[in-house]
Structure 1
Amino acid sequence: MLATETIKVTAPFDMPEICIPDFSGMPVFNIVDFGAEQGSKISNNIAIANAIKTASEQGGGMVFIPEGEWLCGKIHLKSWVNLHVAEGATLVFSEKPEDYLPVVLTSWEGMECYNYSPLIYAYECRHVAITGKGKLKALMDVWTPWGKRPKRHMDALADLYHQAAKYAAVEERQMAYEGANLRPHFVQFNRCQHVLIEDIHIENSPFWVLHPLLCKDVVVRRVSVKAHGHNNDGIDPEMTQNMLIEDCIFDQGDDAIALKAGRNQDGWRLNIPSKNIVVRRCHIVCAHHLVTLGTELSAGIENVLIQDCQFDGQTDYQDAGNLLYIKSNERCGGYVKNIILQNIQAKKLGGAPLVIETDVLYQWRTLVPTYERRLTQFDGIHLAHISADQAQHLCRIEGQSTAPIKNVSLNNINIKTIIGVDIKNQFVEDFSFA
């Protein structure tokens, strides 16, 4: 019988205990015993799928990837299964889009749709894990050109946006057509509960790297990610609750940790906030920002604690931005409340420890119209015990006159060199700095 581990996380809010699976002592299903052969993608696909199916049907177990390099296509996990990649083992994921068909229910930048399968995908699973000191690696030959976003891709984004804004049935949102080029996530747990991702190293990704979507009870620990492609956020919890991210290393081409909660009408329709999320003792080697909230936050984000992290960020090819960057726009609605960032050490910041912007639309500003105007409500953003070598500001907040940012505090913020104005705020109520 599968055991469980219960984790108690201390936080300045009511943080539920997190229950995750413990696969120690469970049967081991070596993919070699199911016909896996190094160099044979077809054999490996069949072997991994059969090992997962057998482990799940027999009440749970560890699907074991032994030392060596194993080329494969998509991997679909099932309940009661731990995909364990041993030290010295590498799962190499094909760059061919056809290897990620047929389509699955997924999402793209906060909008649900049917698209190419994530490279590793779990849907409505319970007690499921990815562990081991091995490596997951994506080949990028096709995904990199897809990231350039030509006109057909932008037209596809607009098409999906219009469908979501008009509440079209998700089954009608078929996005894996020629030229749409909506790149798949690397790892997506969709509507899962009791999820563990532990010790694994991930290299490269077509899109967002780790994406728990509509999940509960999730732990990500001692994971290292290095992915410098387009939209390569390290981890994007979306409409996910009761989550711990600890002792991880992120080396990203985009944000390290990006909290999401659905885009516009899809967020309002699903109406499940991201909440009770703790991030601690993580090292960000390189990223645009340490933690970002939004712009997809329409179902709301609340009760978030980020503490005891190190943000290097600055490299020869990329400037670090902000420690906490919160962004929304007139289409988002939703809310952000009770966000705490404390005990953070940083080097050179191109921005500030805290930046909040409420008019961030990127390509959407001219690509598609505003169907319904809803402003985001902000209440309770708190930073304490922050140090950095350099920053542009201590804080920059751009609220709206009709929806001011409320209850923001900065305590013990130590920046050695500030290039611009210390505090640059507009439409903020109950702001304190000490």
Structure 2
Amino acid sequence: MTSPSADATPTPDACSNVPYGSSLPSPPPVEYAAIILASTYGERLFPLTDDADATNADDDDVRQRRRRLPKHLLPLANGTVLDRLLLSLSFAGYGYIILLEISETAVDAPSQRTVAPDAPASCPMVVRTVPLSPDVTSGSADALRLLISGGHLHPKSHAMVLTGDLVVMCPGTLRAAAEAHREARMQYPCRGDVACTMLLSDVGREDEDGAPLKESAKQKKGWLSREDEEIDYTGLSSLPPSSSVATYPHSPLPHRRVLLKRPLLEVEEDIHFDGTLPKLSIPFVSALLPSSAGGGLSIRTDLHDVHVYVLSNWALGALNSYRWRHMTSLQGEYVPMLVRRQGRGVAAVVPDPKSNGDGGESMSGGGRSVDSSRVGSRDGKEEEDETAFVVSAVVVPRGLRLLMRACTVPAYLFACREVVSMNCFSTYLFSWEM
């Protein structure tokens, strides 16, 4: 299987260690870069992590707060959550990692260093640390805009965006997402491009009679459970056997087209307080579903969005444009917007390059071209503005190893227990070459 960054391996000059405070080299033109979002403390993990609401520097609780760790540096077996995530990315073949880290746990200036895991079948990685202040960014979308505007990502590179609290016990799933995104761009049965490929984990459980268990029942049995704000209504298209795994030989996991993504709290909100629930509606459903699939659509709530998104370079550029500057969350706003606008063409996402918006600023997306005439084109020729694009998903079945976010205290304790019981990567350590 080809590694995600095999098409453009970082050169020795780009991989050289750079001292703190010095100017960094240009980002390597890798096909896929990994972006780790570790710019928040994790309030849902309190008191294990910092209390961001504390403001009195003379208070004893604040001095105690400074001795706590952010969520990506919490211990996990013989390492930290971040150590194991970097090791999983190394096993998956990613050679260029961008770590967006909260400023209290990072240096003032961006830095770059080489990570060499002491493990077989792993590859050295160039890790670029970009410190962020919580006062500057209010969400994951803002953090990505600062990264793009700062020139830390090559304009031609696609990116896999992950959270710093991600726990991956099967690194092949991270590679499968990039492989599915690559091959879907070349072989997906539509004229457009793939804007985003997300990674979903099947977390459904059944009782002895085969009936699905509620989240409260999972928690009582000691299994991983989700809170209401973590549950989505996810609609996936059905693919015929000819378009399943056999069509994409390099992707070990099947992927589907995402036609619906709405939070559970939004769908089941009782707006009129009369006990009625709003109905799900999917616009352009007949145009979005391929005719060969027979119009099949499955809507599920047992698929967990673990905040792993493979974004095409033009989708990253559109995020940095004036049209979507109001969005702060990648998971809660930008990705659902891409899902909703699939039937409207790329012109509904990418702004007109001839327009300067209402602020007169350049629409280049921080040096990243977002020309709608070239989005969805594989040979550089112009396409119509109504060219379709696709949002797909790779579904990780229940039988595979752990894939979760340690973003709550119960989830973190569950991850610690599972990692120790699996004894995964227990003998491998990192060598930080400075």
Question: As a proportion of its length, which structure holds more strand?
Answer: 1
TM-score (norm 2): 0.24
TM-score (norm 1): 0.24
Q: Which has the higher contact order (CA 8 A, sep 6+)?
A: 2
